Amino acid sequence: MTGTEKTQGGELTERDFAAVIFDMDGTLIDSTPAVVRSWTIWAGELGIPLERLEEFHGVPAESTVAELLPPQLRKAALDRINELELTDLDGVRPLPGATESFRMLPADRIAIATSCTAPLAAARLKVSGLEPPAVLVTVDDVARGKPAPDPYLKAAALLGQPATDCLVVEDAVKGLRSARDAGCATLAVVTTSPRDALTADLVVDNLSRVLWVTDPATGRIRVQPN
């Protein structure tokens, strides 16, 4: 199988876009080992089977905690996972093609929309060495996190562009749902989910498999297989 594959919708490489919005963890940054360590400790302390966590990939910690625990335990449990994740940043690094993508794209045409809190997003970006874009939407900035469309709608609004004219790059099934429901086109990377689980306009192995081309006259962006 090649590193790029169209899965649905119009031919993505024939379109151009006003802006590109990236998910963070699993798309730009490899934080999986740290995430697994933190949530394994958390689940063990609370007696929650690890397999229960799999369905919450790509959603905010607060939503996960709310689904798994009764109200009287949620605040302490959320504080605990936030503490664990903020103190374990070992191995956090850019994924292939992430740094190059940021270099290729105009700074005023990109954003990040993440399920992380603002402190955790800042910490992981700093350790990874990726320069945060001017538009960085975290779970703290929206009423509803992924899989609701709010994060991508907010990012598009802050970029001053219609969501329907934005391309979202995601690794998670629920993140892709968020993007689609916002009206965005979707590019999926196969970094944390099986390829056949990802419904997107284009699926690639990782960001090293695409090139970004910006029209110097209009600032509009195309994505091409690399």
pLDDT for res 9:
37
Positions of the chain with pLDDT under 50: 1-2, 6-10
Report which residue type is found at 88: D
For 118, the token pair is 């603002």
Cα 28 to its chain centre, rounded Å, is 7
Closest CA to 93 of 126, 130, 128: 128
pTM, full prediction = 0.90
CATH number of 4-30+92-225: 1.10.357.20, 3.10.20.600, 3.40.50.150, 3.40.50.1000? 3.40.50.1000
Q: How far is CA 87 from CA 8, 44, 124, 130, in A?
A: 40, 17, 11, 19
pLDDT for res 58:
76
Give the number of other CB atoms < 10 A from CB of residue 221.
22
> Which phi and psi (to 5°) does residue 136 adopt?
-130, 110
pLDDT for res 188:
97
pLDDT for res 55:
80
For 28, the token pair is 């730009």
pLDDT for res 59:
80
Q: Which residues are catalytic?
A: 23, 25
Contacts of 85 (CB under 8 A, 6+ apart): 34, 35, 38, 61, 120
Three-class SS state of 212: strand
Domain chopping of the chain, boundaries: 4-30+92-225, 32-87
